[in-house]
Amino acid sequence: MKQVFIYVFILSIASTNTFGQGYVKRLKRWETKGKYEKIARKTPKFAEKHPDDARVFYYGTLAELEISKKLKNQKRGYKHALKSIRHFDNYQAMVCNLEKPRDLRGELHWELKRYYEYFSSKDKKSSIKALDIILASTFRDTTDSYRGYSPSISKSKQEKLPEKSISRSNNKVRNAIIAEATKHEGKPYKYAAQGPESFDCSGFTSYVLNNVAGVKMPHNSTIQSNLSKEIKQRDAKPGDLIFFGNPNSTKVNHTGIVYKAENGEIMGIIHAASKGVIIDNNNVTWTNHWKARVLKVIDVTKVIEALK
């Protein structure tokens, strides 16, 4: 009887694992049949249920890229290209330097350069700036206009930039950011959601800064992490943007807002995680999980200045 029970138990595990991979089989089948629109529709749902499976983001990247390439309407195509980048950054953060089944990076780079040339010909400054940041942060492709406002430009050039009005110690702005972020505590997580009813991590930070300061950040944690120079963790203040990932790969895959910082130490964050918008305030989750995964902190006042 005991042997029968063990056999049934092992069989149930095998069955669960087999059926648990059904979504990957569907994605692969749809790709073979060229059903990219269907993959694009299903990817957010699969990503929400399986956020640690790089294959979901691979197929999402591929589908949005193929849709972008075939659309004649440039504005609609560009929206799909941006979705492709969002999936790709998640994918790249997981696979690091492992062999990729297709040169998505090269294809996506070429597609975004095509849009860059298009928007340059139309003199669409906001789109050009967004693409400048994407090309530099994801592909290390710095355009001439990017060098004009990049946080990584030389110190001598930075000194020539005009002074901005927002002070690093502007507690009014920081308090407003924390107050706005806290208002959404408990709202559910949803992949690619930008609020106000649900959020993903970069959608949450984008929504909060837009409501408080009227600035629009790219809906992408990797790109957000490059909007300003990195500051030391001991200099972090409530309201600053904080970024997480695997320390071994240094690839950003999550973002939030510093909620509490005392005596040169970050003690809590507010962010849109898998359980929804939550405050991890010097608790076990912060101490045992997120703290060790901090990759970067940037000054929120500098971000607001750059985007004004």
Q: What is the pTM of this model?
A: 0.68
| Whether 8 and 62 share a structural domain | yes
Q: Are residues 40 and 87 in the same domain?
A: yes
* CATH for 176: 3.90.1720.10
Domain membership of residue 198 (yes or no) is yes
Question: Residue 115's domain spans which residues?
Answer: 2-147
Number of domain units in the chain: 2
Alpha helices, H only, 71-103: 74-95
Q: Which of 114, 147, 180 is the last residue of a domain?
A: 147
Same domain as 17, residue 135: yes
Instruction: For residues 41 and 142, state if they share a domain.
Output: yes
Cα–Cα distance for residue pair 23/10, rounded to 1 Å: 22
pLDDT in tens, the chain (308 residues): 545 444 444 444 444 444 457 888 999 999 999 999 999 999 988 988 888 788 899 999 999 999 999 998 998 999 999 899 888 888 877 765 444 556 778 888 889 889 988 988 888 887 888 888 788 777 777 665 444 444 443 333 333 333 344 444 568 899 999 999 999 999 999 888 888 999 999 999 999 999 999 988 888 888 899 888 899 999 999 999 999 988 777 788 899 999 999 889 999 999 999 889 999 987 888 888 899 999 999 999 999 988 87
Residue 46 forms part of a structural domain: yes
Tell me whether residue 153 is in a domain: no
**Cβ(251)–Cβ(222) under 8 Å?**
yes
SS percent in the chain: helix, strand, coil, step 5: 55, 15, 30
Q: In sequence order, what are the residues at sequence separation of 6 or more whose Cβ sits closer than 8 angstroms to the Cβ of residue 265?
A: 233, 234
Q: Are residues 45 and 180 in the same domain?
A: no
Residue 199 included in any domain: yes
Torsion of CA 43, 241, 96, 189, to 10 degrees: -20
Give 175's contacts (C-beta < 8 A, 6+ positions apart).
238, 239
